[in-house]
Structure 1
Amino acid sequence: MKRSIPILALLCMLLGIPGSPARADDYQIVTEEWAPYNYQENGQLTGMTTEIVRAIMALTGDHFEIALVPSMRTTYLLNSRPKTILYSLFRTPEREPLYKWVGPIVEESIYPYQLADAQQPVNTLEELHQAPQITTRKAGLIPDLLQAQGFNNLDRSASVNQQLYRMLLAKRTDLIVGDTAAGVAYNSRQLNIPAGTLRQIPVELYHSSLYIAFSRDADDKVVNAWSSALDRLRHTGALERIMRKYDHPVRP
Structure 2
Amino acid sequence: MRLLGLVVLVGLSSLAHGERLRIVSDDWAPYLYQENAQPKGIDYEVTNEVFKRLGVQVQWEFMPWRRCLAMVEQGLADGVMDIFQVDSRQDYLIYPDEPMSQVEFVLYQARSRPHPIERLEDLAGLTIGTSPGYTYDGAFAESPLFRREPAPSHEANFGKLALGRIDLVVTDRRVGRYVSRRLGLEQTVEALPLVVSRRPQYLGLARKPGREQLAQAFSEELRRFKQEPAYAAISARYLGNQDFPFAVEQQERGTR
- TM-score, normalised on structure 2? 0.78
C-alpha distance 58-180 of structure 1, shift in aligned 2 (>3 A): same
One-letter amino acid matched to 2:221: A
- Structure 1: which 5+ runs fail to align? 1-22
Q: Among 142, 157, 171, which residue is 1:149 paired with?
A: 142
RMSD between superposed Cα atoms in Å: 2.5
Partner of 2:165: 172
- What letter corresponds to residue 110 of structure 2 in structure 1? L
How has the CA–CA distance of structure 1 residues 203 and 96 changed in structure 2, closer, same or farther, with 3 Å as cutoff? Answer: farther
Distance of aligned partners of 1:46 and 1:138 in 2 relative to their CA distance in 1, 3 Å threshold = closer
The equivalent of 2:203 in structure 1 is: 212
Q: Could you give the per-residue CA deviations for residues 26-78 of structure 1, whole angstroms, max 9, x where no partner exists?
A: 43211111111111101111111111111112211111211112211111111
Which stretches in structure 2 are left out of the alignment for 5+ residues? 1-16, 245-256
Q: Distance in 1 between matches of 2:77 and 2:177?
A: 34
Query: In the alignment, which residue of structure 2 is the partner of 1:105?
Result: 100
Identity %: 22
Tell me which of 53, 62, 70 is aligned to 1:59: 53
Q: State the partner residue of 1:202.
A: 193
**Which residue is equivalent to 1:40?**
34
SS at structure 2 position matched to 1:244: helix
Structure 1 pair 55/145, CA: closer, same or farther in 2 (3 Å)?
farther
Instruction: Go from structure 1 to structure 2 and tell me whether the alpha carbon gap of 1:231 and 1:120 turns closer, same or farther (over 3 Å shift).
Output: closer
| Deviation of the 1:133 alpha carbon | 1.2
CA-CA distance at 1:119 after TM superposition: 5.0
Instruction: Give 2:65's aligned residue.
Output: 71
Pairs within 5 Å for 1:1-252: 25-81=19-75, 84-96=78-90, 98-102=92-96, 103-118=98-113, 120-128=115-123, 130-142=124-136, 148-151=141-144, 153-177=146-170, 179-195=171-187, 197-219=188-210, 220-247=212-239
**Partners of 2:226 and 2:174 in 1: CA distance:** 20
Any conservation in 1 of the 2:177–2:186 contact (CA below 8 Å)?
A: no
More strand by share: 2
Distance 1:138 1:41, change over 3 A: closer
Q: Is contact 1:91–1:208 with CA below 8 Å preserved after alignment?
A: no
- The CA deviation at 1:246 is 1.1
How many residues align structurally?
Answer: 225
Q: 1:152 to 1:95 in 2, by over 3 A?
A: farther
Return the letter of the residue paired with 2:167: D
Equivalent-residue separation in structure 1 for 2:112 and 2:77 (angstroms): 49
Distance across 2 between alignment mates of 1:200 and 1:157? 19
